[in-house]
Amino acid sequence: MRRLSFVVCHLKEVGSRQSAVGRRKVPSCKSHVASSAAFGDVIGNWLLVIGSVAKQRKPKSFTVHHSPFIIRERSFRFRFLIPHSSFLIKNLPILCIFLVSFHTALGASELKLSDTEANRIAHKIWLNEGSGQRRQLVWWNKGEEFASCGIGHFIWYTKDKPMWFRESFPPMLRFLIAHGAQPPRWLSPETHCIWKSYEEWKRAKAKQTKRMRELTEFLDRTKGLQARFMLQRLNRAYPKILAYAKAHGQGRIVESNYRRLLYRKEGSVDPQGAYILIDYINFKGDGINKSERYRGKGWGLYQVLTRMDPKDPDPHHAFYVAAKKVLTRLIRIAPPERRLWRFKQGWFSRLDTYLKP
């Protein structure tokens, strides 16, 4: 067992070294770091269990009986494992599934930002949504059926008028509470919008009612956590977008364009690309929800990524052009009563910020 422990330590050390190399050379290896370490731990712990049935030991070369592996020791510093051929043949399907699953896990890239970078991006989004004005932290656009709250103007539905768009205020509030924020006593993730209509909200805004003041103050002091929520939203959405894209034959295109935006050629994170991705998914969603369709066409991040021109050397510009086409189509195919043409100028002004670092 002492020698087997050396093998376990060696596996974990190799995982750590590979992770360190990945951080220096491969853009997508930011998520590989944790995966490699975890992989080493899993295999190492498995080997400890296998080793517990060892019956014999030899000074320089030994075999763990009843185990699918032969463990050999050539020197004190070099140890390795040799699988039995019978084990490989018998368990080939399982091994193939394991390798495919592990490769998929490594391919899912998670964006990590410092607090400074996350807050800077959140501030730009807040300028898009509410012009950076405190009074717009609790808002309701005339003609819409829901309130928009927080720096990302997260959708908050009334009890009587839920819609098919994905509601984002409750999960945002749940995230804030999980990270230590204390909302007003009357507010929880299960609370429906406290105003039933635009007119009712407008009256409460004019009077600056107690609940209006308390909600505004709460959202003002938690802007940093709201920034973290938006980052988490992208990280959780991307694997789902990629899986959806692969199921529809668009996997390579989506993954390539996502990485073009997110990483510079030398491998570092592109802050402007990160802003574009976080802002657009907060702005128009991930694009894979079947309920968010008009005439079968979506308008989220997935639709834009699939329409980026691969020949355009500037990924920011490629995304900008594709997003304009997607939103122009949305305005054209939306039901006339939604009157989305009212928002065209504001939407396009928002897209203009994608070209200005």
pLDDT tens across 174-215, in order?
999 999 999 999 999 999 999 999 999 999 999 999 999 999
Supply 175's token pair: 């995230």
Alpha-carbon distances, residue 289 vs 258, 286, 297, 326 (angstroms): 19, 7, 11, 16
Percent of the chain with pLDDT over 70: 68
More confident residue, 331 or 19: 331
What pLDDT is recorded for position 70? 41
State the pLDDT confidence band at 125, using cuts at 50, 70 and 90: very high
Domain count, the chain: 2
> Where among 85, 107, 129 does a domain terminate?
107
Q: Which domain holds residue 101?
A: 2-107
Percent of the chain with pLDDT over 90: 56
**pLDDT above 60 for 22:** no
Same domain (yes/no): 148, 34:
no
Q: Are 36 and 15 in contact (CB under 8 A)?
A: yes
Same domain (yes/no): 205, 331:
yes
Give the chain's mean pLDDT. 78
More confident residue, 326 or 13: 326
> Where among 47, 82, 107 does a domain terminate?
107
Long-range contacts of 241-244 (CB under 8 A, 24+ apart): 241/286, 241/287, 241/288, 241/301, 241/302, 241/305, 242/107, 242/108, 244/288, 244/302
Same domain (yes/no): 166, 286:
yes
pLDDT tens across 240-280, in order?
999 999 999 999 999 999 999 999 988 899 999 999 999 99
What pLDDT is recorded for position 330? 96
Same domain (yes/no): 150, 271:
yes
| Tokens 């909600």 -> residue | 215
Same domain (yes/no): 168, 297:
yes
| Tokens 């309920």 -> residue | 291
State the pLDDT confidence band at 30, using cuts at 50, 70 and 90: very low
Whole-model pTM?
A: 0.67
What pLDDT is recorded for position 134? 93
| Tokens 């296998």 -> residue | 50
What pLDDT is recorded for position 338? 86
State the pLDDT confidence band at 76, using cuts at 50, 70 and 90: very low
- Average pLDDT value for residue range 68-79: 40
What pLDDT is recorded for position 12? 44
Same domain (yes/no): 175, 210:
yes
More confident residue, 106 or 352: 352
Same domain (yes/no): 56, 134:
no
